[in-house]
Structure 1
Amino acid sequence: MKIQGKLIIIGGAVDKGSFTETNLDRDAPKNLNFFEEGILKRVINESKNKEFSRIEIITTASKIPLEIGPEYIKALGYLNAHNTDVINIERREQASDPEILERLRNADVVMFTGGDQLRLTSILGGTLFHDILLDKYRNENFIYAGTSAGAAAASNNMIYQGSSSESLLKGEVKITSGLGLIDDVIIDTHFVQRGRIGRLFQTVVGNPKVLGIGLGEDTGLLITNGRQMEAIGSGLVILVDGREIKDTNLTQIEMGQPISISHLVTHVLSKYDTFDLDTFKMTIKSSQYV
């Protein structure tokens, strides 16, 4: 089935125009990275009605929804996207509220904020809100954008726990079901900044069919047709491909012991590089060999 919507997953700390916190009017025009090349600008450009798109900010994952929602509204407003509002769903019964469901049906973009991805899936998973979200993504010109927890929860399988320092000890990484917008991948966020590569290594060695995606901060992937990925933002995307693993001790060791892996393939993408989930081919936009 061809996916009609677009998926934009971001590793956290997306540039929301933090330069605007002081000297608002004087400094706003100076940040060209935000106004011309930032991730939020790309979200708007990819959306159905551009600056006029209806954008709903979903703050369910956050413990400070009353703070984080207005930050996104302000940032999007600086990009001339003023048709925005916040939906804060804190309880499962709210995910069946007719007014909230109608707002979702009318949205061109939903932007899921950071926070706790387990909170996000436990509140929204299996609700009418979730059903409508999946239907819109699969069948409409619609964007699911998620940062940090909102990105981690987008895949069918989701990492929800696991320390960076002990992530290559068997059993330290915990996985559950995500929101199911994309199969055959698993997503980790704040990836470079928090040294989380071991979490993806353990995840992928346990099921080498799954491609591990590690997103740096203010960095993301634009995924179209559910298969074609383009790196966006200012940092790095790390892909962990386990299909060619030759050996591991995973099933021979006890819980808490170190994992060995032979021949694990990694790719590093930066802005505009692409990766095809069907062919597993990476294309470097500014290759030195072209």
Structure 2
Amino acid sequence: MPSRVPEGAERGWIIPIGGAEEKADGPEILSRFVEIAGGSNANIVVIPTASRMRDTGPKYERVFKELGVGAVESIDFDTRRDAHEENRLVRLDSATGIFFTGGNQLRLSTLIGGTPVAKRLRLLNAAGVHVAGTSAGASFLSEHMIAFGDEGGSAIAGSVRLAPGLGLTNRFVIDQHFRQRDRLGRLVTSLAYNPFAVGIGLDEDTAAMIGPDNELEVAGSGGVTIVDASELEFSSMDQVDEGQPVCLLGLKLHMLVAGASFNLHTRKASAGRLRHSKE
């Protein structure tokens, strides 16, 4: 469960990114994360645990240093024992921003879930530390995590498997590489199991910048698909066999681009300050 915000404090930003974010030529999303985390005074911890590639952590260290971050260090967790070590917890305590890389979200949940590190991360975010994640790292941020599922545009019973995530919030469930990998069906299916959460589908190089007030603003070059099932009138999920299409009535869908926003509390969308480009 999300940690309670201490009296007088403000929850840190939560920034899920759809993967393949620009890192060199005008890295808007990463630059905004750095700015929120303190700019040149930022102290960022990179957690590359989702990736099996040994250069992932150092790569993001270089990216953040090039963006002017004062201090940045990658901390990997190869075993659950690592997530109990006091020196790693102390390092997290000094961070103003924490960044989860992409890879496999089940590596994050199996190596970090339920450990002192997971608890500390929830407490830190509730106390004002900003947390971002890209691709698998984005999926892991919320309480409800899509572990894996089938691609396609239709809601199909049994086509998606959910697992517990980090639990910074229980307000949404994330899917990433959304348009590029045709993942609308599995996001909608995940909401058919439990319509409480808001479904957020993130295109590549696109982020949902979620502030302490639960206002989500889109940044980046792609789109964010919002699926709101709060007014769901009917679901046949309990009546169909696995592999069969699901009937859902009353879903609300929003397609947002950079500058548009969605309030996760009121569930109201706004075109906001849309940015248009012309050739």
Same topology, TM > 0.5:
yes
Residue in structure 1 matched with residue 19 of structure 2 by the alignment: 12
Tell me if structure 1 keeps the 8 A contact 2:153–2:183: no
For residues 18-68 of structure 1, give each alpha carbon's deviation from its aligned partner in whole angstroms, at most 9, with x where no partner exists.
xxxxxxxxxxxxx3x32xxx1110001111x3222111110111111x211
Alignment of 1:46 with 2:45, yes or no, is no
For residues 140-188 of structure 1, give each alpha carbon's deviation from its aligned partner in whole angstroms, at most 9, with x where no partner exists.
3x11110111110111111001110486321121001111001131110
2:60 equivalent among 72, 93, 101: 72
How many residue pairs match? The answer is 268
Tell me if structure 2 keeps the 8 A contact 1:219–1:232: yes
Decide which structure has greater helix share: 1
Whole-angstrom distance in 2 between the partners of 1:167 and 1:126: 33
Whole-angstrom distance in 1 between the partners of 2:64 and 2:153: 38
Whole-angstrom distance in 1 between the partners of 2:273 and 2:134: 26
2:144 equivalent among 128, 134, 157: 157
Tell me: CA distance 1:80–1:276, structure 2 relative to 1, closer, same or farther (3 Å).
same
Residue in structure 1 matched with residue 81 of structure 2 by the alignment: 93
Whole-angstrom distance in 2 between the partners of 1:253 and 1:101: 46
Amino acid in the other structure paired with 1:55: I
Matches for 1:117-266 after TM superposition, within 5 Å: 117-140=105-128, 142-165=129-152, 168-225=155-212, 227-266=214-253
Amino acid in the other structure paired with 1:39: I
Alignment of 1:279 with 2:266, yes or no, is yes
Amino acid in the other structure paired with 1:170: A
Whole-angstrom distance in 1 between the partners of 2:214 and 2:153: 32
Tell me if structure 1 keeps the 8 A contact 2:153–2:182: no
For residues 224-262 of structure 1, give each alpha carbon's deviation from its aligned partner in whole angstroms, at most 9, with x where no partner exists.
126211111111010001122333322221111111222
Q: Identity percentage over the alignment?
A: 35
Q: What runs of 5+ residues in structure 2 fail to find an aligned partner?
A: none
Residues 164-173 or 107-116, more deviating: 164-173
Residues 183-192 or 71-80, more deviating: 71-80
SS at match of 1:99: helix
Whole-angstrom distance in 2 between the partners of 1:63 and 1:198: 28
Residue in structure 2 matched with residue 111 of structure 1 by the alignment: 99
Alignment of 1:62 with 2:51, yes or no, is yes
Whole-angstrom distance in 2 between the partners of 1:63 and 1:287: 38
Tell me if structure 1 keeps the 8 A contact 2:144–2:173: yes
Whole-angstrom distance in 2 between the partners of 1:56 and 1:136: 12
Q: What runs of 5+ residues in structure 1 fail to find an aligned partner?
A: 18-30
Amino acid in the other structure paired with 1:10: I
Whole-angstrom distance in 1 between the partners of 2:260 and 2:94: 32
SS at match of 2:55: helix
Whole-angstrom distance in 1 between the partners of 2:158 and 2:188: 12
What is the CA distance between 1:102 and its match in structure 2? 1.0
Amino acid in the other structure paired with 1:108: T
- TM-score, normalised by the number of residues in structure 1: 0.88
Instruction: Let me know the Cα RMSD of the aligned residues.
Output: 1.7
**Structure index of larger Rg:** 1
Alignment of 1:269 with 2:256, yes or no, is yes
Whole-angstrom distance in 2 between the partners of 1:137 and 1:287: 29
Residue in structure 1 matched with residue 69 of structure 2 by the alignment: 81
What is the CA distance between 1:280 and its match in structure 2? 0.8
Whole-angstrom distance in 2 between the partners of 1:86 and 1:181: 20
SS at match of 1:74: helix
Tell me: CA distance 1:102–1:214, structure 2 relative to 1, closer, same or farther (3 Å).
same
